[in-house]
């Protein structure tokens, strides 16, 4: 399969959305933790892992999207 410009833009858009939405989630999670919200340790750990994994996915998608976008420019 050959990536087209529309595929590259979709990958970049999904990566940006992941960073925006999970960045906001991370901010809210930290504010809840800082306010002393009473939750089990597993809650904080699970949500932190979720945020880290989604940032990694955003990095991967962004990298693929950027490479695909550069490849469409040279054609």
| Domain extent for 57 | 11-74
Residue 63 lies in a domain: yes
For 37-67, the pLDDT digits (tens) are 999 999 999 999 999 999 999 999 999 999 9
Closest alpha carbon to 51 in 14, 12, 18:
18
- The structural domain count of the chain equals 1
Q: Is 2 a member of any domain?
A: no
Provide the pLDDT confidence category of residue 74 given band limits of 50, 70 and 90.
low
The pLDDT of residue 75 is above 70: no
Q: Is the pLDDT of residue 6 over 80?
A: yes
pTM: 0.87
Based on DSSP, count helices (H) and strands (E) in the chain, helices before strands.
2, 0
Contact 58, 18 (CB under 8 A): yes
In a domain, 62, yes or no: yes
Predicted local distance difference test score (pLDDT) of residue 58: 98
Determine the Cα–Cα distance for residues 51 and 37; give it in Å rounded to an integer: 19
Whether the per-residue pLDDT at 30 is higher than 90: the answer is yes
């Amino acid at each position: 399969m050959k990536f087209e410009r529309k595929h590259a833009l979709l990958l970049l858009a999904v990566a940006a959305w992941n960073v925006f939405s999970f960045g906001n989630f991370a901010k809210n999670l930290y504010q809840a933790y800082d306010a002393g919200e009473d939750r089990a340790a597993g809650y904080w750990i699970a949500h932190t892992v979720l945020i880290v994994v989604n940032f990694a996915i955003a990095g991967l998608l962004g990298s693929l999207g950027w490479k695909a976008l550069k490849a469409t420019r040279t054609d």
